[in-house]
Structure formats: structure tokens, C-alpha cells
Amino acid sequence: MPRKVVQGPIRDKEKTKQKLLAAVGKILRVKGYSGLKVSKIAAVAGYDKKLIYEYFGSTDKLIDEYIKSQDYWSNNLAGVGESDFSDGGKELSKMALINQFESLKKNKELQKIILWELSEHKPILRKLADEREEMGAVMFKNITDPYFGEEKAKRFRAIMALLISGAYYLNIHTAANGSTFCGLDMKSDDGRAEIEKAIVDIVDFAYQK
């Protein structure tokens, strides 16, 4: 017997919201952030633009929700402070950095968002950066800072800053200008594996006492 699909205002609203969010992603991927106009978003989603205001309040709030849904760190570090990490977060750091490196390769929309962050000053992008910092602070304050102590904790944060920003740049550079960086092919499994090995080596180095 076919499974009954429940229809109703709540289900229809969620379906509409998801289509509007997906439309933001499609436009961002194809046209870039300059294409994110209310009429264009509504047309791509196949809905009247008044639903954007009804369900999200404004175009900026719709875009804000979409951006937050794509951000790696905001979505993957929430609640991390609730766990027990006897190694001071070493394995967590490796996993998070490698997953970020690979996630960004696949997420073309997030690549566009990061470029947008670098090229324009907008409240919704500043808000995202602040929320990302808050998520990172959970890991640092609850896991790595107590493990390293005040002075070494600063060094570890600096190392993480370089690794995170390096992962951003390598992926965006590869997508925009070519696959080779320092002689490594960032579109090949071998080239990317070397970067991931380097991430592991650097994190291991940071945890040496």
C-alpha cells in the first residue's frame, strides 16, 4: 500500500522555504552574489516574491539563513564543548581541518560566500564571521586552551588560523585560477592527500610538549 503523504500548511510552508533557500544557492553558484535580487530569487524558486517577506521577513534574512546553512564551522562545531577530549582536542582538530578542506572543494556556493566576504562589507557577512568566531571559541575555550595553557594556546590558535585560511585559499584558487599550487595538483587525489598529510603533521607538531 502506498505511503500516505501528509499535506497541510506546515508541510507546504517548509517545502516553500526550502525551495527559496535552494534558489539562493543556485543563483549564487551561477550568477554570484550580484544576482541575489528578490525578484530573481522568487522567479528561480517559482513563487511570488511576497512569500520571501512572509516566511523570512526580508531578502537579507533569507540570504542570511542560506549562508548560515552552508558555513562549515558554524554547522560542525556547535555543541563540541559538551564532549570529553582527553587528548586536548588533537584528533578533533585534525578531523575538523581535513573535513573543512574537502567540504569546501565540493561546496561551490560556500566558495562564492567566502569570496563575497572578502570583497564586500555587509552586515549579513559580518554576522556570519562573528558567529563562526563564536563557534571556534567554544572549541578553544573548552578544549584546547585548558590543554595548552595561556601562552601555548595563543600559538595553537595562530597555527589553526593559518591552516584554516590555507584550506580556504587553496580551494578557491583551484576553482578560479588553476589546479597547481607549489607544484601540487589540487584537483588530484595525490595532491590533496599531501595537503591532508601536512595538516596532520602540523597538528601533531603543535601538540608536542
Q: DSSP per residue over 71-138, as a string?
A: -HHHHHSTTGGGS--TTTTHHHHHHHHHHHHHHHHH-HHHHHHHHHHHH---HHHHHHHHHHHHHHHH
Q: Answer yes or no: is pLDDT of 9 > 70.
A: no
Q: In which band, very low, low, confident or very high, does the pLDDT at 77 lie, cut at 50, 70 and 90?
A: low
pTM value is 0.77
Nearest by Cα to 39 from 47, 17, 31, 123: 47
Q: Measured between alpha carbons, how far is residue 86 from residues 92, 143, 144, 149, 151 in Å?
A: 11, 9, 10, 15, 20
H or E segment and range at residue 51 = helix 50-56
DSSP 184: E
Q: In which band, very low, low, confident or very high, does the pLDDT at 120 lie, cut at 50, 70 and 90?
A: confident
Query: What is the chain's mean pLDDT, rounded?
Result: 87
Q: Answer yes or no: is pLDDT of 180 > 80.
A: yes
Task: List, in order, residues 6 or more apart from 55 with CB less than 8 Å away.
Answer: 13, 16, 17, 20, 62
Q: Alpha-carbon distance 36 to 114, whole Å?
A: 15
Check residue 79 and give its pLDDT.
53
Q: Which amino acid is at 15?
A: K
Q: Answer yes or no: is pLDDT of 7 > 70.
A: no
Q: Alpha-carbon distance 127 to 133, whole Å?
A: 10
pLDDT tens digits for range 25-46:
899 888 878 888 999 999 999 9
Check residue 153 and give its pLDDT.
95
Check residue 3 and give its pLDDT.
46
Question: What is the mean pLDDT of the segment spanning 156-166?
Answer: 96
6-15: burial string, b at 16+ Cβ within 10 Å, e else: eeeeeeeeee
Pick the most confident of 1-5, 85-89, 130-134, 204-208. 204-208
Q: Answer yes or no: is pLDDT of 193 > 50.
A: yes
Q: Measured between alpha carbons, how far is residue 105 from residues 23, 87, 90, 100, 165 in Å?
A: 21, 29, 23, 9, 14
Q: 33, 114 in Cβ contact below 8 A?
A: no
